[in-house]
Each structure stands twice: as C-alpha cells, then as structure tokens.
Structure 1
Amino acid sequence: MWHAITIQPAKTNSGRQQTILLSSAHGGEKRSAGTRTFTFKDSTGVDGWYRVSQCAVVHPCRGRKPAVRYGSLSRTGSGLQYLARCGYGVLLRVGSAPAAHAPRLWRFTIPARLWYDAFMIRLLLLIIIAFGSVTPFFPGAVFRDDPPAATTIVDPFITAQTAAMRAEHAADLTDADWDRYTLTVQLDPTGPRLSGAVSVRLTNRSEVDFDTIWFHLYPNHPDFGGRLDVTSAQIDGVPVPSRTLHGDTLIGLRAPQPLPPGQSATVTMTFTARTPRNASQRIFGAYNLEAGVWSIASFYPLLARYIPGMGWDTRPIVSRGDFTVSATALYDVTVDAPADWHLVSSGSRIEHRTTDHNRQVARFVSGPMREFYLAALQGLMPISTEIDGIRVISYVQPNDQTAGKQSLTIATTALQVFNQRFGAYPYNEFEVIQAALTQFYGMEYPGVVLIEQDLYRRNDRLLETTIAHEISHQWWYGLIGNDAQGEAWLDEGLASYSQILYYEMIDNPAQATAELEAFRASYRRLRERGGDAPLATPPAALNNGRYVPIAYAKGALFFHALRQRIGEAAFNDFLQQYVATYRWREIAGPDLIRIAGQACGCELDDLFTDWVITATAVPIP
C-alpha cells in the first residue's frame, strides 16, 4: 500500500507541488486499534517549519473506487500525526513544494505559533481532556496524541510520477502496482533514427509461470514504414535468447528461469530504430518526420498483454484501426536530442538541461498511461492556456496561427465539457499537434493528439469535430482501455458519440443532429449493400470498407439507442460510473453493458445481443 504525502515549506516564493508516496511495507508507521500514525523527517535530519493546509484519507475499500475524505491534522510536541481507520492510504496536500527539494522525505516540526494560535491549541487540549480523544470531523479519520512513528522510506520512482498528475489525482498512483518503464533515448533527426535502452519492471499477475515474456515491436509493421531492432536483452541481469514473430513485430525473451505468479522481474533491452521521412501519403503518419514534426509513436519495445485463460496476446497486428493494445504502466523517460528541436511527449517534463555540442537532455514522467508518445518539433509555434487546472498547448505552423488559436479554444472547451460529463482528466498537461497525417484526420495518444494539418486550412467544422473526437479518447482508450484489435467499437463508437455530446454541451443542437444524421447515413448505406456485422466483429474481419461504418457509425448509434432506452439521467450516470469503475483498467463489451444496467436498474441483455453479438437488423435510432 502506498501513501501519498504532499508538503510545502512555509517559507518559499516559488516552485510547484510535490507529492511523496510512502510505502507502509517499509515501516514508518505505528498501528493501534485499526489506526496508523505517520511521521516524517527531512533526509538531512534538519527540522523545519511547514504549513499544512489539508489532508485526505484514501480508502481503496477492497477494490472499490477509492473515496478521498478530507480532514485536519493533529500535532504533538515532536511532530505531526494523522491516523486513518482501516489502515488505508494517507494523502496530505499542502500546496507547492519547490522542485529542488523533491523527492525528499520530511519531518513536520510545526511550532504552535506557525499555524495554530494559542486559543486553538488550548481548545484541542480541552477536548482531549474532556472526551479522551479527538472526534474526527470526517468518517475514516481519528486523531491521537501517540508518539510519532519512525521515519518512513520513500520510493523515488513513484514520487517523481506525481509531477504529471493533477494534485487531486495523485492518489491514483496507489490504485495498482503498475509495471514501470525507464527509458533513455538519443535522437538523431538527420537519419531520422534513434537509439536507446529500456528497463521494464513487470509483475506476473497471472496464475501460471512465465517462461517467455513478449514485447511488441510496432515500427516493424509495414504500415509504420520504419524499423525497431532489439540489440541486447537481459532478465534480472542475465542475458537471454530471443525469437520474433509476425515479421519481427513481436519479440519473445526466454526467461533464465520461470517467473512464478506474484513475482516480479526486470527486463532490460537496448534498441535502435529509424523512421521514414515525408511518407504520410503511404504509411502511418504518426511514425514519420514531415512538415517540422518528427512523430515517434511506439518507438520502444512495449510489453504485450497476458490474458487470463488465453496466454500472451501474440496476434498479428492488423492495421485496420488502432495498432497498440497495452496495459497501464508508469514511464520515466530521458531524451537526448539536438537543442534546436522542441520535445513534446505524454506526461510532464521534470528536468531539462543543455549540454555541449548543441544538445539538450530532458526527463519526462507519465503517471499511469497505456503508452508513451514522443515527438520532436521544429518551426511550429506553441499557443497555450489553462482550463480546470490543466495546461493546454497547441503547436501549429506559423502560417496557420489563426486556426491554431481556434484549435486551442476547441481543445480547452472539449476538455472542460468532458471533465463535467465523464469525470476529471487526471493529468497536468494536454497537447495538440498539427501534423502531416494525410491518411487519417487525427490520432490519439495519452496526453497528446495529432491533427491532420489540412484541417487547419478548411472552412468547415471538421477541425472542431476531429479535435473533440480525439480528446474524448483520453477517456475512451486512455483511462478505460479495451482491445482495439478485437472490440474497436468500445472506444471508437463512444468517441464518435462523444462528438454529439460535445456539440450538445456547447449549445449547438443543430451540429449535434448533423453528426447523428451522418452516422445514420453511413450505417444505412452499409446495410443496403449487405455489409452489416455485429459490433463485436474484430477489425481484421471488417474488410471491404466496413470498418468505419461498423466501429464508428454503428458504434455511435448503439450508444444513442442505449441513451433512448435508459433515459437521460441514467445515461449520464452510466458515463460517470463507467469511468469511475474501470479507470486505468481494460474492459470488454459485457463490462460496459453491466454498468449501463446498474445505472438504469434495468435489463439490457436484448439490446446488447441485437447490436453487439448478432447482425440483427436493429431499428436505426
């Protein structure tokens, strides 16, 4: 169990919030009658005065959605203590800590004169004397005058990750024991090529031994048009043999000894990669250098999923739809690049320096994400703003600045309305990049979306619709994962329907109706030519131009039919509960319909069967 602690020295004029996660497994706590006491000490051993503004107890409650409960703090003569019933996590939030101090472990020595006046201290003592304990202001927290526990040990990797998260979502880092990627990458745009090393700390969460561990090498797919080669591989420091599948798009590493269930291992690989240049007319434009954007999607070996009861997901990748299918993990990435290229990535930058020979080194952390995206830009203009505590940046060509400002407005509006409708976007940053994609309008990655450059030069709503669609993928794919190679409708159908929700929420019902009519027309034409198929049909089987009408149009219409069936209030509750229940997890169709049924308190099996399982000629809603 991890405990998130955020602190701020009382005397500071700059810096930003730093959250420190503490492991109860390493001591630093005292248990008594279902409670825990924590104390903290500066790693230098120096006492300091610190202002604490609020705290929270995070209750995972046996796998249910964590409930964050806020309270106050008690003080003893030798330190600060906060006790949480049930022994669950503790989160203390106190504003901004200067980055220079992170990741440090703190002792809170808080003189009364600093933030409790004498009256409040006397009142607290009177309550203790009168009642024998301090009554908690919120359920789940009690305050006692026990002596503080010993110093708690901090995990620097987890601590660094909090820089990518909005303060109210730092506790999400305690939701699971995430796999961890540590990457170092060197970029050479003259190739364009790159080289690097990746260390993946993974855990066997299955019920069988792992004899071989599989990774995707996506750039080796013909539609990427590039190359990714693993040059060495070790498991727990032991060199291991490897083999590849499906045109080198998968690599399997033979473990020196089987990895038992519940155990962890560290896989280390070195690799080289190259990307095409000016190739968006013929290949997947998100792995390409063109028009000042070196987009380097999926540039590293990505751990394949292990599916309970089925084994490793080693299916050949189908380029119809999205390529990547991966579990949520944490990323810590250091990039060495020419100083005249601007680096953009998933997550947040926490370190940056320039070096000799006109180079720069930047370090990024992600928070929980399904993959890590990286780009290097040259010549694009950044335009930025902030909405709901999220820094939003739009990168555009100098000649498209007017449309670039429009794209920024669209992005901030979409984030704001989706925050309200679906639940909060958890990261500190979001970025939109104008890119040469050519074969598609937009592409989503965690914290970043790419938008086809020509949309910025059109006089219609396609730019707005595309940005809204791609931003909704931050929820439908980003927060809630699904098998895009098997059930693409789960994210594409709901992202398409989110276009309608977006226009409704910005008070443009005419455009919402136009979006719905477009989906109806697309699906109707498909049915008229005999191309209908169940939504559960894998993209590999949706040939002859059927993928978009099924996954996007029919998928969107399913959600409209669901909305009509259960009513507006239940549909809104469904969206909120869907995110709250399955955030960071991967779902399948039955999981979605189960949440919808809970939201309405009704039976929806017939709706699910007719739309998803069979090719029944459903009424078009």
Structure 2
Amino acid sequence: MDVKVLRGFILAILVFAILVGVLCCDSVTQLHPPGELAKASENLSWYYIDVVFDPNTAKLICTQTVEYRNNHDVEFDRLYFHLYPNAFRDENRVPFLAEEKQRAYPNGFSPGWLDIEEVMINGNPVEFNVGGYSSNILSIVLGTPLRPGQMIEINMKYTVKIPNCIGRFGYGKHTFNVTNWYPIVCVYDHTGWNTDPYYPVGDPFYSDVANYQVNVKVPYDYTLAATGEILDVKAERAYKVWQFKALAVRDFAWIASQDFEVISRTVDGLTVYSYFLPSYKEEGVKALDYALTAVQIFNRRFGKYPYEHLSVVQADFFVGGMEYPCLVMIDRSLYSQDLQWLEYVTVHETAHQWWYAVVGNDQIDEPWLDEALTEYSTILYYENRYGENVGKEVYNRVIVDGKCSQLQKYYAQGFTSRIDQPVYKFKDWVTYDLVVYGKGASLFNDLRQAVGSQKFYGILQNYYRENKFKNANACDLIKACEKVTGKSWKYFFQKRLRSLNW
C-alpha cells in the first residue's frame, strides 16, 4: 500500500532514541497454542496451482484446482472469481491514476492479462462467463446447487501475461512481482457476492482465508520469495520446481529475481527473511532488523503471529510498500534513500501481517479498519523500541503536524471526505492518505487516551484473538472495546468516523 510518510525524523532524535530506548513489555500476550494454524486450516477451501514461468515472454502457464467449500448458510447456483490481471489489459482502464501512469510504465504501456482456456467441475466441462469493468470477474454456472457444507472441485487452465509495469503486478529490471495473479473466489457476505473492480486508489482486495499448495517451475538461476513455506526445490535440467504450502492465508503472492541475496534470523519461533539486491546488503540487513524488531513488539502487544516465516522483499515497485500474507514488498528506491523511510515503511507493512493477513476486513468498503490501525501500530513500534518520547515525537511529526494539519486546510476549502468511506470515494492518494491513515491513526490515539494504555492494548489483543483468520468489521472492533472496558463505544466511533472536522 502506498505509504506517504513525511520526512520529519531528525538524526538527533534517533540517536537519542537508541541511547535511551527500551522495549516495553508490560503487556505481554501468550504464545499461540500448539496446532493453532492446523486447526484454523480445517474446513477451508484449497487451491492447488501448478505454474510454468517463462521470464522471456513474461508468461505463466497455469493449471489450477480449487476445492471450494461452501461455509455459508445459503446454497449457490454459481461461483464468482476475481481475475485481477485483466485490469492491466486495456491502457484506458488500468488501476492507476493518470498522473501515476508514467511511473508505473517507465518504458511505455505494456498489457497484462489472464486468459481462461478451460473450466471443469468434477471432471466435466461447464459454462462460464468473463465480465466486469475490465473483464475482471469469472462467473461459473453450477449444474447442481452447492449446498451449505458441501465441497466442489473446479479445474482450470489459464495463461497469465505479466506486464512491464512496476506496480503491484508486473516486472521491472530486477524483479517479477507476481501478486493478485490467479483466479480467486470472491467473498460472499451479508451483501452478497463482492465483485468489485480493481480500483486505482487504496488496496481493492477482499478475500477469505484458504489453504494453498503451489508449484512454480522457473529457470534455474531464479530465486523466489513467496507467501508459502518452501517444501522442496527440485532440479529439472535447466529449471527448478519450487514447491510451496500455505495454510489459512487470504492470498498467495511470489516475487522472482535472478539477483536476490537472502539473509534471515529467527525470533519467537518465526524466521524473518530479507531479500535484497546485491548492492544493498547494508540496507537489506537494516530491513531485516526493522521487521524482526517489529515482530517482537507486535507479538507482545497484539498477539502471536501464527505463521512460521515472513519475507521482506526489495522489489521494482514505485508505490512504497505492499502487504501480502507472510510477505511484504518494499520499493527498491527506499533502500537507497534515507533509512528512516525504509524503517517506517517496513514496519508499517509488517504491522499489516496482523491487521490484514491474520485479521482481515473488507479493504474496499472499510479501508480505514486495517490502514488506520496499521498506521497507529507503526507509531507504537517507535514508542516500544525507542521510548515514549520518541513515539510522541514521531506521532506529532507524521500524524498531527503532517497529515492532520494538512487535512484541516483541505476541510477549510470545502473538502468533504470522511474516514468511513469506501476506496472508490477517494479521488487521489493524497486525500486517501490524509483521511484514512492520518485521521484514522488519530482516532486510535484518542481511544488510547480515553481508556489508558493497558486497556488499549487489551482491546487490540481481544480484537486480534476473536477475529483471527476471519474478516472483521467495525462492529467487531467496537465489541472488543466494550468487552475490555465494560462500556459502550458506539458514539465515540460514530462521531469520529462520520465527522468532517474533529
């Protein structure tokens, strides 16, 4: 996600922080019970995907089997899948604002797509249709309705073209960013099937957790960073087949490069990897340290991260940072700029492993729920790592003096965006950042001031514990507040989410 952070951390503050900072541990959560991830993976849908990757043509030849389980109380006569790569097919409908296109396509427009060649259910060909704003939705007609609790096997063959684009999905000089790349089942919730297009502002993704087994055949000299844990890497002449498995994750992403160097360290039973380009070893070590320390802090403050690995990946990517389960993608240029930016963005994306990867939400209709909490979690990192004074200094510089003060000027000019708006209501990234990140983070700071730090961390721990591997909403957060404090918080949230000037 695009993290536009103000350059405000002066060197003296960081030096002071390192000298006097402490890791606060007055609110420590318990480790997750043994077998938690295995238990969470029960009764979930499975994705089995085999991929042949040809970097010369930038294509993926794929076969996919989805064992989809109907975990709802209604029967389905059809299923819907997102085909996100098709958002990159038409130059006039790509998911970038006009002013971003030159940065996204430094070598000129390059199309990307996903072509479905065959769909079968339980071994029989079935009727399907591709539609939506950018041919981004696959609809499959079921011959027999799928009842609650039943499972159906869907087989697909398709080809993916990766564009020469340095956004989330695409490739540049050093990396192939293979994200939001395969047909993934749309979420069915109280509103019905969610078939939104790939909007240009925000993170327009909403998915359920599922299990994955993915095999990727690549040229021998490529290294992969991926959501899943590596089961094996088998040599096949001039190729390698990377075998991955991931339980109870809400997406599967991978990044390929001929240039990666990799280092790792383990903390709290979690191995954190740093993938970086050869000339950025010092910065790659720093990125590892930032993520590792963030994991330690968030494990104690929010709850134990349930997965066993996390990868921080330097990539050809122009939008700052982007989160995926067990993997965060960081703009390559941040490694050559002031390391304060690299630290902030790395920590922000690491916080998304709690608020997005484990506790999911509708990032289209309620983007503030994960983004505002993630932004404030980044502030908590500075406080817990470097001390309370530094935490306040960072909060004031980034949130109060930066985003919120600028937002007040917008309000004075008649600006009308509220925090609780869907991504498609925001016309640009600047206002989205100021409202969702800035004003949203101040909401959580107000909550903390109102309840005190101990109960505030208790609220986050309760919210995390009760909504693991689910898609939460604002009501779930309010329930956590009420359970910990014993009082109603509806007016508190309504006032701040819906007010234009507070």
* TM-score, normalised with respect to structure 1: 0.69
Structure 1 counterpart of 2:72, from 197, 200, 206: 206
Name which structure has the greater RCO, CA cutoff 8 Å, separation 6+. Answer: 2
Instruction: Say whether the 8 Å CA contact 2:36–2:306 is kept in structure 1.
Output: no
SS of 1:461 mapped into structure 2? helix
Aligned equivalent of 1:387: 267
**Structure 2 residue 339 is the aligned partner of structure 1 residue 478:** no
Aligned equivalent of 1:456: 335
Aligned equivalent of 2:256: 376
CA shift digits 1:68-107 (9 cap, x unpaired): 9xxxxxxxxxxxxxxxxxxxxxxxxxxxxxxxxxxxxxxx
Counting only pairs closer than 5 Å after superposition, residues 352-363 of structure 1 correspond to structure 2 as: 352-356=233-237, 358-363=238-243
SS of 2:296 mapped into structure 1? helix
Aligned equivalent of 1:114: none
Aligned equivalent of 1:241: 127
Aligned equivalent of 1:592: 477
Structure 2 counterpart of 1:336, from 211, 214, 217: 217
Instruction: Say whether the 8 Å CA contact 1:384–1:408 is kept in structure 2.
Output: yes
Aligned equivalent of 1:220: 86
Aligned equivalent of 1:437: 317
C-alpha distance in structure 2 between counterparts of 1:316 and 1:299, whole Å? 14
C-alpha distance in structure 2 between counterparts of 1:511 and 1:337, whole Å? 46
After TM superposition, give the deviation of residue 617 of structure 1 in Å.
Answer: 2.5
190-199 or 168-177: bigger deviation = 168-177
Cα RMSD after superposing both structures: 1.7
After TM superposition, give the deviation of residue 331 of structure 1 in Å.
Answer: 0.3
**Structure 2 residue 286 is the aligned partner of structure 1 residue 406:** yes
C-alpha distance in structure 1 between counterparts of 2:403 and 2:32, whole Å? 43
Q: Which has the larger radius of gyration?
A: 1
Structure 1 residues 313, 516: CA separation in 2 closer, same or farther (over 3 Å shift)? same
Instruction: Say whether the 8 Å CA contact 2:86–2:134 is kept in structure 1.
Output: yes
**Structure 2 residue 425 is the aligned partner of structure 1 residue 560:** no
Structure 2 letter corresponding to 1:227: W
Aligned equivalent of 1:533: 417
Aligned equivalent of 2:11: none
Structure 2 letter corresponding to 1:451: I
SS of 1:454 mapped into structure 2? helix
* TM-score, normalised with respect to structure 2: 0.85
CA shift digits 1:565-612 (9 cap, x unpaired): 111111011111111100000011111111112111122111111112
SS of 1:559 mapped into structure 2? helix
SS of 2:494 mapped into structure 1? helix
Aligned equivalent of 1:275: 162
**Structure 2 residue 171 is the aligned partner of structure 1 residue 171:** no
C-alpha distance in structure 2 between counterparts of 1:511 and 1:452, whole Å? 25
Structure 2 letter corresponding to 1:196: C
C-alpha distance in structure 1 between counterparts of 2:68 and 2:286, whole Å? 42
Q: How many residues align?
A: 445
Instruction: Say whether the 8 Å CA contact 1:344–1:376 is kept in structure 2.
Output: yes
SS of 2:81 mapped into structure 1? strand
Instruction: Say whether the 8 Å CA contact 1:193–1:275 is kept in structure 2.
Output: yes
CA shift digits 1:237-262 (9 cap, x unpaired): 22111112222111101111221222
Query: Structure 2 stretches of 5 or more lacking a match?
Result: 1-29, 89-93, 96-110
Query: Structure 1 stretches of 5 or more lacking a match?
Result: 1-67, 69-165
Structure 2 letter corresponding to 1:183: I
Structure 1 counterpart of 2:148, from 254, 261, 277: 261
Aligned equivalent of 1:252: 139
Instruction: Say whether the 8 Å CA contact 1:526–1:532 is kept in structure 2.
Output: no
C-alpha distance in structure 2 between counterparts of 1:507 and 1:494, whole Å? 20
Structure 2 letter corresponding to 1:248: S
Structure 2 counterpart of 1:323, from 197, 200, 204: 204
Instruction: Say whether the 8 Å CA contact 1:499–1:512 is kept in structure 2.
Output: no
Instruction: Say whether the 8 Å CA contact 2:37–2:307 is kept in structure 1.
Output: no
Aligned equivalent of 2:61: 195
SS of 2:247 mapped into structure 1? coil
Structure 1 letter corresponding to 2:278: P
Counting only pairs closer than 5 Å after superposition, residues 458-607 of structure 1 correspond to structure 2 as: 458-517=337-396, 518-520=398-400, 521-530=402-411, 531-544=415-428, 545-607=430-492
Structure in which a larger fraction of residues adopt helix: 2
* Identical positions, percent: 31
Instruction: Say whether the 8 Å CA contact 2:274–2:313 is kept in structure 1.
Output: yes
SS of 1:320 mapped into structure 2? coil
C-alpha distance in structure 2 between counterparts of 1:167 and 1:508, whole Å? 27
After TM superposition, give the deviation of residue 392 of structure 1 in Å.
Answer: 1.4
Structure 1 residues 374, 420: CA separation in 2 closer, same or farther (over 3 Å shift)? same
SS of 2:249 mapped into structure 1? coil
Structure 1 letter corresponding to 2:427: N
After TM superposition, give the deviation of residue 332 of structure 1 in Å.
Answer: 0.6
